[in-house]
Chain A
Amino acid sequence: LGNAAGALVFPLVAILISFAIGAVIMLATGNNPIEAYGALLRGAFGSPLAVGRTLLNATPLIFTGLAVAVAFRAGLFNIGGEGQFFIGAITAAVAGVYLGSLGVFGMVLALAACVVTGFLWGAIPGFLKAYFGAHEVITTIMLNFVAIYLATYLALNPFRSEGLVPGTEAIDLTARIPFLGLGLGRANYGFVFGLVAALLVYLFLWRTKRGFEIRAVGLSPGAASYAGMRIGVNTVLALAIGGSLAALGGGEEVLGVYGKMSIPFVQYVGFNGIGVALLGRNHPAGVVLGALLFGGLAAGAQEMQFATDVPLQLATVIGAIILLLVTATKLVELIVGKRARALASGTHLEKGLGQ
C-alpha cells in the first residue's frame, strides 16, 4: 500500500460498510437498494439543480469540518463546532441587519465579524486547556449548549423581529451572499468561500512558521516544547482559528441561505463536521471531499424518499455509521492486516482524557 492509497483505507472501509448496512436496512424495509441508491445519486448529482443542492448542503460542512481539522493538527479535539456555528449565525444575523444598507460591503463586514466572534469563542476552551488544564473535549461540548442558548436568547429577545416567525429580522437582499448561477439553483458563493478557506488553511498549516508550530505541537508536544515552542499559545490559537472557521459556516448559512436566524435554527452541522473532518483525515482537501459526500447524502435523500418508500432520515443513519466506523483501527486491521495501525495517523489522537 502506498501512502496516498493507504490514506484512503479508513474512509473507504467506513463508507463501503455504511452503505452496505444502508442497503440491508432498505431490503429489510421492503425496498430495492439499487433503485433507492440510484435515486439518491440522481438527487445529489443527476442535474445542475441537484449538484447545486449538494453544494448548498456541503458549504457549511466545509467550514465546520475545517474547524475540527485545524484543532486536530494541534493534537486537540474540537467538539465545539456546533456552538461556534451558532455564534457565527447570530453574529451574521445581527451584523447583517445593521450593516445591510452597505450592500456587498456589509456582507463582507458581517462575515469578518463572524471571524472575530468565532475566534474569541473558540479561544475560551483553548485558554481553559492551556492555563487551567480543563480538557477541551468536555469544555467544547459544554460550550456548545452555552452558545446555542446564548444565540437563542439574543435572537428571541434583544434582536427579535416584529414578524410572526420567531427569530431575527430579514437581512437586506443586497447584503446576502450572491447565488452562483450556472443553473445551480440556490447554491451560492459561500461554497467558493469554503474552497478558499480550505486553501488558506492548507497554506497556513503547511507553508507558515506558525502552522508548522501548531503541527509540531500536535505531533509531539514534548519535542515542540523542547524546541522552544509555546504549547499554550499554539493550543489557544488552533482552537480559536477553529472557532472562526465554524462561525463562518454559521454566517454563511444566515447570509447565503436563510437571510436571517430563525429559531429553531439549523442543527447538527457542527457535529456532522466531525465526521467530515475524520473522513477527510483532517486534511483540507479531504475535508472538502468529505463535505461533498455528506452534502450529497443530504441532498439526495429527498429524491430517495420521493422515488422509493425509504424515509430520508436513512441518510442521517448512514452518515452516523460512517462516523462510527471511521476511526475503528482494529476493524480496518481485520481487512488490510497489521498495516492499519500505521495508517491510522490521520484519524487518531493517541491520548486519553485523564489529566
Chain B
Amino acid sequence: VDDILTSLGTLLASTIRNATPLIFAALGGMFSERSGVVNIGLEGLMLISAFAGVVGAFISGSALVGLGFGLAAGLIFALIHALMCITFEADQIISGTAINLLALGGTGFLMVLIFGSGGTSPRVSGFKEVAIPLLSDIPLIGPALFNQSLLVYLMYALIPITWFVVFRTPFGLRLRATGEVPEAVDTAGVSVARIRYYGVALSGLLAALGGVYLSMGILSAFTENMTVGRGFIALAALIFGRWNPIGAAGAALLFGFGLAVSFQVPQEAVPIEFIQMFPYVLTIVALAGFGGRAIAPAAIGRPYRKE
C-alpha cells in the first residue's frame, strides 16, 4: 500500500509540474483571444522567455533577474505580434506562426552567440522547491501540491485572479466585449486597439511565466526547442476549456496528467506517442461539437477598422 501511495504522490507531483507551464500559457492565450486576437504564437512566446530567463540567470547568477529577463522577452515578442495584428492589420494566424519560427531561429542564433554552441546552455540557478509549512505535511497531496517552486504557487493564485479579472471587473467586461462586438466598444468611446494591446501583452507575460518555469523551474538550463509543442497543448487547453480560466486550467491539468503518465508508463503497455496525441485529438473532438461545441469569441481573428 505504501508503494502505491508513493507512486501516486509522484504522479500527482509530476502532473502539477507538467501542467504549470500549460496553465500559465493557456491563461495568457485567454487574455489575447478574449480580446479578439488569435495567439498561436504561445509556443514561441514560451520558448523565447525560457531562453531569456536562462540568459538573465546566467549573467546575474540570480533566478529572479532571470525571471525579469523572461518576462521582458515574452512581452517584447507579444508586442511584436500585437503591432503586426492590431496596428498593421497583418493576418493573425500568419503572425503567430512567424512568432513561433522567429523564437525558434532567434534562440538558436543567440545560443551560438552567447554560449558558443547550440544544444543545451550551461546550468543556471533556477527556482527551487519551497515547502509550505503544515500544508506540505498533508499525506499524499501535501508533498505533491505544496512542495513546489514559487512559480507553481503563483499559478495557483492566478487561476482565480484571472477568472475574477475577466468576469468581475470593468476591464474584463471591456476585454470580452472587444472580442465579441468591437463596434459596441468603439461606440462606447473605448479604444478597441488599446484593449487588444493589453490582451496580447498579458498573454506574453503569462506565457513567459510558463517558459521560465520550463527552463528554470523544472530544468535549470535551456535546451533548443525545449517547449516541444507545449504552447500548442496550451492552445488546445484554452479551446477545450471554452476560453474560460477555470476550464482552461482544468484541461491543462488533464493534459499535464497525460504528460506525467507518458513519462511513467512502460512503452509496451501504451506507446508514448498515443498519450502525446491525446490533447490534440480531444481538442479536435471538442471543436467538432461532440459533447457541446467549443465556440470562439465572435470577433476573433479579424482586424478592427473604424468605419
Contacts and interface: CB of A to CB of B under 8 A. Distances in A.
Interface string A299-330: 00000000000010111110111011111111
Contacts of A105: none
Contact of B302 (A272, A329, A352): A352
A351 B273 CA distance: 35
B113 to A, nearest CB: 6
Contact of B90 (A139, A142, A268, A324): A324
10 contacts: A133-B293, A134-B284, A142-B283, A146-B284, A274-B97, A311-B108, A323-B101, A353-B93, A354-B296, A355-B295
Given A274-B94, A317-B102, A153 B274 contact: yes
Contact of B232 (A128, A141, A326, A353): A141
Given A347-B91, A351-B302, A317 B105 contact: yes
Given A142-B236, A146-B280, A323-B94, A353 B296 contact: yes
Given A271-B101, A353-B300, A355-B295, A317 B109 contact: yes
A197 interface: no
Contact of B101 (A77, A128, A268): A268
A324 to B, nearest CB: 4
Interface stretch (B50-58, B63-71, B80-88): B80-88
Contact of A272 (B93, B101, B280): B101
B301 A352 contact: yes
Given A139-B287, A325-B84, A354-B301, 10 more contacts: A135-B296, A146-B281, A149-B273, A275-B101, A316-B101, A316-B109, A320-B104, A324-B95, A328-B90, A354-B297
Nearest to B303: A329
Contacts, number: 164
Given A135-B296, A316-B108, A354-B300, A271 B88 contact: no
Nearest to A142: B280
A263 to B, nearest CB: 10
Interface in B276-307: 276-277, 280-281, 283-284, 287-289, 293, 295-302
B229 interface: yes
Given A29-B113, A153-B271, A330-B89, A320 B94 contact: no
A349 interface: yes
B288 A128 contact: yes
B161 interface: no
A161 B109 CA distance: 34
Nearest to A321: B102
Nearest to A274: B97
A110 to B, nearest CB: 23
Interface of A: 29, 77, 79, 128, 132-135, 137-139, 141-143, 145-146, 149-150, 152-153, 156-157, 268, 271-272, 274-275, 278, 311, 313-317, 319-321, 323-331, 347-349, 351-355
Most buried by B among A142, A268, A320, A327: A142
Most buried by B among A274, A275, A352: A352
A320 B105 contact: yes
Contacts of B102: 317, 320-321, 324
B284 A128 contact: yes
Nearest to A305: B112
Interface residues of B, number: 53
Contact of B280 (A77, A79, A145, A314): A145
B40 interface: yes
Contacts of A153: 271, 273-274
Contact of A319 (B94, B101, B284): B101
A150 B287 CA distance: 21
B279 to A, nearest CB: 8
A105 to B, nearest CB: 32
Contacts of A268: 101, 104
A9 to B, nearest CB: 14
Most buried by A among B232, B288, B298, B300: B288
Given A321-B102, A328-B84, A348-B91, A313 B108 contact: yes
Given A317-B105, A352-B299, A145 B277 contact: yes
Contacts of A134: 284, 287-289
Contacts of A352: 298-302
A29 B101 CA distance: 21
Contacts of A132: 287-289
A326 B94 contact: yes
B105 to A, nearest CB: 3
B280 to A, nearest CB: 4
Contacts of A330: 87-89
A313 B280 contact: no
B235 interface: yes
Given A134-B289, A351-B301, A354-B298, A323 B236 contact: no
